[in-house]
Amino acid sequence: MAAAQASGQSTGTGELPVTLFSPKGGQITTSGGLEFATQPISEAASLDLLVIAAIWRDPRRVIKRHPELIRFIAKLVNQGSSIAAVGTGSFLLAETGLLDKKPATTHWFWLDEFASRYTAVDLRRDELIVQSDNLYCAGSVNSISDLLVYLMGNFYNTNIARHVENQFSPEIRRRFKSTQLGSQVIREHRDEVVLDVQMYLQEKFTQPLSMASIATTFELSERTLTRRFQRAAGTTPWQYLLNLRLSEAESLLRTTNLSITEVAAEVGMVDSAHFARQFKKVNRLSPSEYRKAVKGKVFSPI
C-alpha cells in the first residue's frame, strides 16, 4: 500500500493493492481475535506477488488438510508470479516440487524436518533470505521485512523502496537485523506446547507479563509450566523472557538514542533500576557503559 501511494498508483478510493486469500474465502478470525475478509483461491487471477504466510505450529497438518493450496501455488508460479514464503510457509512451496535442486530456507525449528522431507532441495541452514529466480524464502517473520523492501525495489524502483523503508522506521528494521532474539536460550526440542510458549513470549515480551498470566494463557499450573519448559528449553520461562528483553535492549542501546529509562520501557521493564541491575549482571557492563563501548562500532546503515 505504501509503495503504491509513493508511486502515485494508489487510486485514493480505499481500493487496496493487496488481497488476502484462503482456501474457501470468507471471514477469517485469527487466534489473536483479528478478523480479515478473504477471497477464495479459486478466484485468484494473475498475481505479481504471493506471500505465503508462516504456518502456526506443524506445517505438515496444513499440507495434509489443504492439498488445493499446493496446486494453487504451482499454478501461480507457472503463470510467472513471484512467490515469497515466510518461515514454515516454505513447506507449501517445497511441496510443489518447484524448489527441487534450488536453494531454500525455512524456520530454524523445522530445518531438520524440512531437510528430511525435501531431500532434493538445497537447504541453506545459515541464511535468512534465499532467492531462486522468482521464488523467495525468508526464514523468519522479521527477515520478510527486508525481503519485501527488496521486492518493492524490483516492482517499483529503488527510491520508492527506500522511501517505504524510512517511513516504517529503519531503526526498528536495523535492530531486527542486528540481533538474534533469544538465540542464546533456544535449543531444539519437540514439545509443541513449550514451543508455543516460546513464540508467545517472543511476541509479547515488551508487554507486562507474569508467570501466572502466562500459565493461565496455556491452561497450565505455574509449577507444570516451569518444569515442562525447563525440561524442553533448558531454562525457566522467566529467564527466557528476561533474555529476550535484554537481547533487544542491547540492540536498542547500539542503534538508537533512547535514554536508559526509555530502553527499559521499550522492552517491558518498567523499573529502570531493576533493568540496569539485570543488564549489568549479564553483560558485566551497565547499560550506559555498554552503549559507550559499542555505539558506532557495530551499527551500519542498510
**What is the pLDDT at residue 160?**
66
Question: What percent of the chain clears pLDDT 90, i.e. is strictly above it?
Answer: 46
| Residue 172 confidence (pLDDT) | 39
Final residue of a domain: which of 139, 168, 197? 168
Cα separation of 8 and 76, whole Å?
27
Q: Which of 9-18, 252-261, 267-276, 284-293 has the lowest average pLDDT? A: 9-18
Q: Residue 26 is placed in which grid cell?
A: 470468507
Task: List Cα–Cα distances, 152 to 72, 75, 105, 148, in angstroms.
Answer: 24, 23, 21, 6
The SS3 of residue 186 is coil
User: How would residue 163 be classed by pLDDT, with cut points 50, 70 and 90?
Assistant: low
Do 157 and 185 share a domain, yes or no?
no
Estimate the crossing angle of helix 170-178 against helix 237-255, to 10 degrees: 120
Q: Within a domain: residue 273?
A: yes
In a domain, 124, yes or no: yes
Helices 287-294 and 272-283 cross at an angle (nearest 10°) of 60
Q: How far apart are CA 252 and CA 181, in angstroms?
A: 12
Q: Phi first, then psi: what are they for 28, rounded to 5°? A: -115, 130
Same domain, 143 and 223: no
pLDDT at residue 168, as a whole number? 55
**56-79: average pLDDT:** 92
20 and 94 assigned to the same domain? yes
pLDDT of residue 104: 94
Q: Which SS3 state, helix, strand or coil, does residue 21 take?
A: strand
Do 53 and 195 lie in a common domain? Answer: no
Give the model's pLDDT for residue 192.
Answer: 83
Alpha helix (H) ranges present in 17-126?
A: 59-65, 67-78, 90-95, 111-117
CATH label of the domain that carries residue 65: 3.40.50.880
Q: How far apart are CA 139 and CA 87, in angstroms?
A: 5
Give the domain range for residue 270.
178-294
pLDDT in tens, 233-276: 888 999 999 989 998 998 899 888 999 999 999 999 999 999 99
Does the pLDDT value for residue 220 go beyond 70? yes
- Structural element, H or E, at residue 265: helix 260-266
